[in-house]
Structure 1
Amino acid sequence: MKASCFECVFLVDDDEDDQFLLQQVFHQYSPECQIRLLSNGVELIEALETINSLPALVMLDLNMPYMSGFEALEAIRKDEKYQSLPIVILTTSDQQIDQQRAIQLGANDFITKPTLLADYSQVVLRLRKQWLVGRCVR
């Protein structure tokens, strides 16, 4: 059965602290966005297959169990129906090789998670401006 509720942002990250933090920052700076929390690439692919409309944005961590962000990104981009789906890598990695690989596999952007809590607001504001205005945010 397909989900009937529009969740405009899928956050795929196995770290519950990061999930909680990003959910709180989104609630503060973009409260109209409904966030769907997923823990790995397998859950993401299953969720995409069971929804009526695509999310406005997928935020994807790289290091996760079962299916990494790279593996999920590659699988998603192979499917024609997900070609226009915005996928932003949000990871602790600051390695150029990871950024290059993510872009080659079809990521729309690559953001290294901030080390300071206060900087998460800038990440959410950037994501809002670049990917959500006009899609699920006015």
Structure 2
Amino acid sequence: MKPFTIFIADDDEDDREILKFLFNQNESFEVLQCFDSGIEVVKEIMIKKNIPDLLLIDMYMPILTGTEVLKKILESGLAPNMHQFIISTQINFLEQSKYLDHPMVTFLKKPTSLVEINDLPGIILESLHVKNNTKI
């Protein structure tokens, strides 16, 4: 089965590198690009029209937060089939509530331990299976 293509966006270089390594080690994923800002993600998707299967983006980044990026992408209509995973050490329930009816958006707690980090690809695959059991 063809792996899910993924963009990873996090302003913390260490987190970005760990996530990149982790997803590259899993045959279900192919990391296409990593970004250190939401602006780069918006440019890649909305201007270059480069759209992965999945976007894993940190909630709290400077200039554009993960949900601000999400809002721009959703309003553009350019990536209706892209699954978007917003990760944060603290879930912002107010922001999350804005997307409860959107099936392509999932909020996840950012992994803080080695066990949680290693579990992240499986959690995302399980979420995708629940949402779209034809892909897996």
TM-score range, shorter chain: 0.7 to 0.9
- C-alpha separation between the residues in 2 aligned to 1:124 and 1:10? 13
Structure 1 residue 63 and structure 2 residue 49: aligned? no
- C-alpha separation between the residues in 1 aligned to 2:42 and 2:92? 26
- C-alpha separation between the residues in 2 aligned to 1:32 and 1:110? 19
Q: 2:48 aligns with which of 29, 47, 50?
A: 50
Number of corresponding residues: 130
Give the conservation status (yes or no) of the 8 Å contact 1:29–1:125: no
Normalising by structure 2, we get a TM-score of: 0.78
Equivalent residue number for residue 30 of structure 2: 33
- Deviation of 1:134 after TM superposition, in Å, equals 7.0
- Deviation of 1:77 after TM superposition, in Å, equals 0.6
- C-alpha separation between the residues in 1 aligned to 2:72 and 2:101? 13
Q: Which has the higher contact order (CA 8 A, sep 6+)?
A: 1
- Deviation of 1:84 after TM superposition, in Å, equals 2.3
Q: Greater share of strand residues, 1 or 2? A: 2
- Deviation of 1:32 after TM superposition, in Å, equals 5.1
CA 1:62–1:70 in structure 2 vs 1: closer, same or farther (change >3 Å)? same
Give unpaired runs (5+ residues) of structure 1. 1-6
Runs of 4+ residues over 6 Å off in structure 1: none
- C-alpha separation between the residues in 1 aligned to 2:101 and 2:89? 19
- C-alpha separation between the residues in 2 aligned to 1:92 and 1:115? 8
CA 1:126–1:35 in structure 2 vs 1: closer, same or farther (change >3 Å)? farther
Q: Tell me, what secondary structure is at the counterpart of 2:78?
A: helix
Identity among equivalent pairs (%): 23
CA 1:17–1:101 in structure 2 vs 1: closer, same or farther (change >3 Å)? farther
